[in-house]
């Protein structure tokens, strides 16, 4: 015959064990979820910050996983992040909690991919760049140390200063300025007076690129005037 007291105790023990087991699972899940949340928030924060510095680039953020000890941290308030974007590929972001008070540093790798103008073939010194000499190739621009061009149109018509290999990034040091006027060219001299624009012809005494000031002999007066190169074959004596 069963003993009532022992049955009740056994049932109570079973219920208590089940309750403990049920409560243990959510606690572990909560800690894991919080850890993922911190990393995801840090990634989102960095993505937004660096996307603002270069909106045309495809930004990628890789967060270094938190250590086992940092995974135990929890916060009762929204976590704040502190970071100032820089040029380096590696970034450290500070996560700050006010309740309870703690702060940790999270490491990340920042990549910003963007199409850059490169040579489609080997070019000899003095080659005038055309459409077929260039194409766009995607690079992580944060790893580039020299200036670059994202629009091949800016390079059309310019001459390379030295021999250039195929698939090489074109930087300003590799090309000459695009001369819109050459010495001896017949040019127009533009002079503005209020809403009126007067045009006279002249002969350039020096070559010049856009925005550069050059001397020109006025064909009518024979006098030398100085003006700024405005466009192909045109200078302005009223400023740029």
pLDDT exceeds cutoff 70 at 20: no
Query: pLDDT higher for 65 or 73?
Result: 65
Task: Please indicate, yes or no, whether residues 63 and 97 belong to a single structural domain of this protein.
Answer: yes
In tens, the pLDDT along 106-164 reads 999 999 999 999 999 999 998 989 999 999 999 999 999 999 999 998 898 888 999 99
Burial track 176-197 (b if 16+ CB lie within 10 A, e otherwise): eebbbbeeebebbbbeeeeeee
Residues 6+ apart with CB under 8 A from 173: 146, 161
Task: Please indicate, yes or no, whether residues 97 and 172 belong to a single structural domain of this protein.
Answer: yes
CATH number assigned to the domain comprising residue 102: 3.90.1210.10
Q: Are 90 and 122 in contact (CB under 8 A)?
A: no
DSSP 71: G
Length of the chain: 240
What pLDDT score does 154 carry?
87
The parent domain of residue 199 ranges over 179-236
Q: φ, ψ for residue 55 (rounded to 5)?
A: -60, -25
pLDDT exceeds cutoff 90 at 56: yes
DSSP 192: E
Task: Please indicate, yes or no, whether residues 97 and 154 belong to a single structural domain of this protein.
Answer: yes
DSSP 142: G
Task: Please indicate, yes or no, whether residues 157 and 208 belong to a single structural domain of this protein.
Answer: no
Other C-beta atoms lying within 10 Å of the C-beta of residue 160:
20
Task: Please indicate, yes or no, whether residues 70 and 189 belong to a single structural domain of this protein.
Answer: no
Which residue is listed with tokens 């350039």? Answer: 204
Task: Please indicate, yes or no, whether residues 14 and 29 belong to a single structural domain of this protein.
Answer: yes
Task: Please indicate, yes or no, whether residues 43 and 92 belong to a single structural domain of this protein.
Answer: yes
What pLDDT score does 9 carry?
55
Write out the E strands in 51-207: 58-63, 80-82, 90-98, 101-119, 134-140, 179-181, 186-193, 196-204
pLDDT exceeds cutoff 70 at 50: yes
Task: Please indicate, yes or no, whether residues 120 and 213 belong to a single structural domain of this protein.
Answer: no
Among residues 176, 191, 219, which one ends one of the domains?
176
Q: Which pTM does this prediction carry?
A: 0.63
pLDDT exceeds cutoff 90 at 196: no
72: tokens are: 């135990």
């Amino acid at each position: 015959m069963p003993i009532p007291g022992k049955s009740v105790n056994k049932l109570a023990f079973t219920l208590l064990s089940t309750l403990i087991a049920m409560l243990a699972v959510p606690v572990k899940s909560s800690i894991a979820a919080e850890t993922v949340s911190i990393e995801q928030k840090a990634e989102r924060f960095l993505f937004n910050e660096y996307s603002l510095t270069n909106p045309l680039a495809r930004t990628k953020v890789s967060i270094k996983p938190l250590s086992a000890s940092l995974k135990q941290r929890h916060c009762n308030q929204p976590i704040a992040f502190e970071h100032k974007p820089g040029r380096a590929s590696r970034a450290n972001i500070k996560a700050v909690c006010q309740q309870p008070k703690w702060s940790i540093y999270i490491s990340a790798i920042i990549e910003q991919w963007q199409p850059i103008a490169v040579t489609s073939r080997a070019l000899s010194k003095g080659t005038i760049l055309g459409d077929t000499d260039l194409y766009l190739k995607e690079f992580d621009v944060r790893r580039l140390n020299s200036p670059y061009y994202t629009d091949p149109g800016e390079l059309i018509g310019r001459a390379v200063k030295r021999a250039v290999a195929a698939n090489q990034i074109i930087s300003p040091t590799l090309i000459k300025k695009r001369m819109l006027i050459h010495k001896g060219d017949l040019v127009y001299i533009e002079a503005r007076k209020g809403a009126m624009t007067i045009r006279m012809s002249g002969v350039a005494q020096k070559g010049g690129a856009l925005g550069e000031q050059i001397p020109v002999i006025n064909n009518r007066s024979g006098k030398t005037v100085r003006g700024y190169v405005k466009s192909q074959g045109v200078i302005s004596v009223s400023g740029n």
